[in-house]
Every structure is written in structure tokens, then in C-alpha cells.
């Protein structure tokens, strides 16, 4: 199993350009997440999905859109990139329910480093 | 007040030392607790879940204190390879949706 994979690994954009980050998981997980990580700040949730065809806003959704057309894929789009979106983006996934009813841990992809000039 | 707070460190310790980190959380209804490890420029990876009764995995021991709303991580006999940032993660439920809240991390450097 590859686990959670992300493409691309690194990208440089100019202000105003658009791009899509792809996240794929082969663990049949129901839940998928997009986070951004900035220096001095914890991981912040951008959007998430609880199943195929569903998406919901997280803590910092402005400037981003997402789609979950297939269970294994979760796409994050930037329609018009801004320098404030320079960050490291992590995708994560998990099963709906953990053992003994507890919350299942999240598994992370390797990240995408985005620089917006 | 942040929902999850950690001392950013760095904690510089010699090999073989014992080191402990604390993490405080503000929501008394928080349900699940985890410690993740993140190496420089890498993704976070689960180190261990934290159970109410406390749990141990080799050199690592995690404790939960619900009354005081903190979790702790103890590392015994530190190795150079333990150098990393340790993230505290707390979950809570809002309208049936579970949120995973990440601390900013505590940086550990184990020195030879």
C-alpha cells in the first residue's frame, strides 16, 4: 500500500495563477482532510470530506475549493493564488470509526510545498 | 487562549536523558488525544494515542490528566534519532463532527 500520496511535491506560482493539488489514498478511508502548516502555527484545517461527493469547510477555507468525486481522491484548488497562500499543504485520511468507538488516527501524505510570488 | 498549547522549546538534552513534554487543552469535552512526531520537512506521523489510564510504548509513556486538562509525553533514554518536533493532537465533537486540533509542537534536540 502506498498510503497517502500527494502531487506535486513542490510548486512555484505567480500571484493570480491557479493550480490543483491532488491527494490520493489507497486505504479505503472515508474521511479526508486538507491542512496547511505555517511556521509558528499548528496545522490548520482548510477543508475536509466525510465521504465521496461531500465536502465541508474547515478553519481557513477562504481562497480554496475542494472536490471529492472519487472516494480515494481529494483535490484542493487555488483559483487565484496569493502570496499569503505560500505554505506547506498536507493531506490526511482516516477511517470513520476507530477501535472501541474511539477516534481513528489520521494518516498524512508527504506534503506539497507551495511558493506564491 | 489557544485550544491546544505546547511549549515550543527547543528542549536540548544529552543522549540517555529523560525528557517530558506537556500539552494543555481548553475544551473539557475533548475526547481523544494523540502524540504525533514530525521530522524536519516531513509529514506528521502518529507516535502514540493517549488513553485515560496512561500507556507505554517502549521508551515512551503518555499520560492524560482530564481534571487539569493536559496530556504528557515522557521519553526515557533519549536517542539522537528522537530529535524531532512532537505535536499534541486533541479531538472534540461539534454538532456530530469531530475536529482534530493540533498544537504548534515542541521541538526536541538530543545531543551527542
Q: What is the pLDDT of residue B51?
A: 84
Q: Which residues of A touch B32 (CB under 8 A)?
A: 98, 102-103
**DSSP codes joined into one string, chain A:** ---EEEE-SEEEE-TT--EEEEEEESS--SEEEEEEE-TTS--EEEEEESSTT--EE-SS-TTEEEE-SSTTEEEEEESS--GGG-EEEEEEEE-SS-GGGPPPPPEE---EEEEE-
- Tell if the CB–CB gap between A42 and B49 is shorter than 8 Å: no
Mean pLDDT is lowest, of A37-41, B52-56, B89-93, B94-98, for B94-98
Other CB atoms within 10 Å distance of the CB of residue A32: 28
- A41 touches B: beta carbon within 8 Å: yes
* pLDDT tier for residue A87 given thresholds of 50, 70 and 90: very high
Nearest by CB to residue A103, choosing from B8, B43, B91, is B91
The C-alpha cell of A2 is what? 502506498
Model pLDDT for residues A33-58, shown as the tens digit of each residue: 999 999 888 899 999 999 999 999 99
Amino acid at each position: 500500500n502506498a498510503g497517502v500520496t500527494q502531487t506535486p511535491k513542490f510548486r512555484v506560482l505567480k500571484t493570480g495563477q491557479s493550480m490543483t493539488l491532488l491527494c490520493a489514498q489507497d486505504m479505503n478511508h472515508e474521511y479526508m482532510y486538507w491542512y496547511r502548516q505555517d511556521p509558528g502555527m499548528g496545522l490548520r484545517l482548510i477543508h475536509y470530506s466525510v465521504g465521496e461527493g461531500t465536502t465541508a469547510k474547515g478553519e481557513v477555507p477562504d481562497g480554496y475549493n475542494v472536490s471529492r468525486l472519487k472516494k480515494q481522491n481529494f483535490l484542493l484548488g487555488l483559483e487565484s493564488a496569493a502570496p499569503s497562500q505560500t505554505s506547506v499543504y498536507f493531506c490526511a485520511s482516516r477511517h470513520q470509526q476507530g477501535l472501541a468507538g474511539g477516534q481513528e488516527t489520521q494518516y498524512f501524505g508527504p506534503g506539497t510545498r507551495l511558493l506564491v510570488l | 487562549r489557544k485550544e491546544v498549547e505546547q511549549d515550543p522549546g527547543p528542549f536540548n538534552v544529552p543522549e540517555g536523558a529523560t525528557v517530558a513534554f506537556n500539552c494543555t487543552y481548553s475544551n473539557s469535552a475533548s475526547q481523544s488525544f494523540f502524540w504525533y512526531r514530525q521530522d524536519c520537512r516531513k509529514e506528521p506521523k502518529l507516535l502514540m494515542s493517549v488513553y485515560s489510564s496512561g500507556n507505554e510504548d517502549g521508551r515512551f509513556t503518555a499520560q492524560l490528566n482530564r481534571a487539569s486538562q493536559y496530556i504528557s509525553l515522557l521519553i526515557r533514554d533519549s536517542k539522537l534519532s528522537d530529535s524531532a518536533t512532537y505535536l499534541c493532537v486533541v479531538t472534540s465533537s461539534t454538532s456530530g463532527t469531530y475536529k482534530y486540533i493540533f498544537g504548534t509542537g515542541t521541538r526536541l534536540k538530543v545531543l551527542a
